[in-house]
Amino acid sequence: GDAMAQSSMYVLAGQLDPQVTAVVVTGCAVAGLGSSVLKLCTRAVCGDLRSDTRTFFAVSSLLILICLFTLRLAMSLIKRTHSQPCEEQRLISKKREAQTVASISTITVYRETLLVIWKPIVALFLIFFVTLSLFPGPVSSFVSSGLLTQRWIAVLLISSFNLFDCFGRLLLQRRLFDKIPDYLLAIDADGDDDTTTDTDTGAPHFCNVDTMLLYPSLARFGFLPLIIACHSTTLPILHRDGVRLCIVSLMAVSNGFLAASCFMIGPVMMVFYADRGSCD
């Protein structure tokens, strides 16, 4: 259910301004951060693990019901304030969509899409491969050195990850850091005339994709031996809770920023490709 809901939101947001995608991915991170805050509160209030878990799921269920009710109310307000298109316009739209789908095969669409946005796709795969290999399993199984205590270390590390993952996605908000998204979406001014920088499909050359997505995604593989070393006794300094907290936070910032960047730049690259195709 989570995968279907997030995929639907990303598809809808990708058709709009890139900042809409940035807001959507940041909203998902804020939801994870809220869940961590709730877990911290229940852990502080409840004495034993069983009552802590029961309270957490009870409050979470109540919040979900409130969200569903709010969504229902918002949908009804939208229907009242916006006029629905007439039946004739609906039929015309459906006919055009059917003609478009019939003229282009699914395999052709996937092939052309991969040729255009293969770099963000590869980067996103590498990002999630590293993150899901380490979080939450190995990260939450650390034995505390005494600073965070064994009761709190797993909850605090997961909460820290969600916090800095959210911060990494906030870096792409133009109202906060306008230069970062502009640098990410920058296009080579000479890309149209330089055939060496264009793909076979005629996609424009986004000059900062390698430095902002591919290379950092590959560099994140360094977290694999680092987290493994935190579990071993080879380097005593990595057994300190404070050091582990810093490592997890750095991994979270890179995860949030790079993943959000991939979701932002992919639809933009496809739009430029479609515009060039229509001009040709």
- Write out the two tokens for 178: 């306008």
Residues 274, 180: contact at Cβ < 8 Å? no
Band of residue 178 on the pLDDT scale cut at 50, 70, 90? confident
Average pLDDT (179-196) is: 67
The mean pLDDT value of the chain amounts to 82
pLDDT at 183 over 60: yes
d(CA 170, CA 113): 27
pTM: 0.81
Average pLDDT (229-256) is: 91
Average pLDDT (256-273) is: 89
Give the pLDDT of residue 249: 95
As to burial, measured by CB atoms within 10 angstroms (0-12 exposed, 13-18 middle, 19+ buried), residue 26 is: buried
pLDDT at 56 over 50: yes
69-79 residue pLDDT tens: 998 888 888 77
* CB-CB neighbours of 251 under 10 Å: 24
